[in-house]
Amino acid sequence: MIGADGLHSLLARKVQPQLTCAYYSYWSDLPVAGAELYPRLDQMIVVGPTNDAQTLVIVYWPIAAFHEVRTDIETHFLAALDRVPELADLRCGCDPGSVNHCLRCGATARLQGAGAP
Q: pLDDT 10s per residue in the chain (117 long)?
A: 555 566 677 776 777 667 889 998 888 767 788 999 999 989 999 999 988 878 888 999 998 999 999 898 888 888 888 888 877 556 555 555 544 445 345 555 555 555 544
What residues make up the domain containing 42? Answer: 18-115
How far is 38 from 58, CA to CA, in rounded Å?
A: 10
| DSSP-derived 3-state class of residue 56 | strand
Please give the tally of structural domains in the chain. Answer: 1
Whole-number Å distance between alpha carbons of 106 and 101: 6
- In-domain check, residue 31: yes
Name the residue among 25, 13, 7, 41 with its Cα closest to residue 87.
25
As separate numbers, helices (DSSP H) first and strands (DSSP E) second, the chain gives 3, 5
Can you give the CATH number for the domain in which 76 is found? 3.30.9.100
Q: Is the dihedral of CA 116, 42, 80, 40 positive or negative?
A: negative
pLDDT at 54: 82
Q: Indicate whether 1 belongs to any domain.
A: no
Model pLDDT, residue 103: 39
Q: Which SS3 state, helix, strand or coil, does residue 115 take?
A: strand
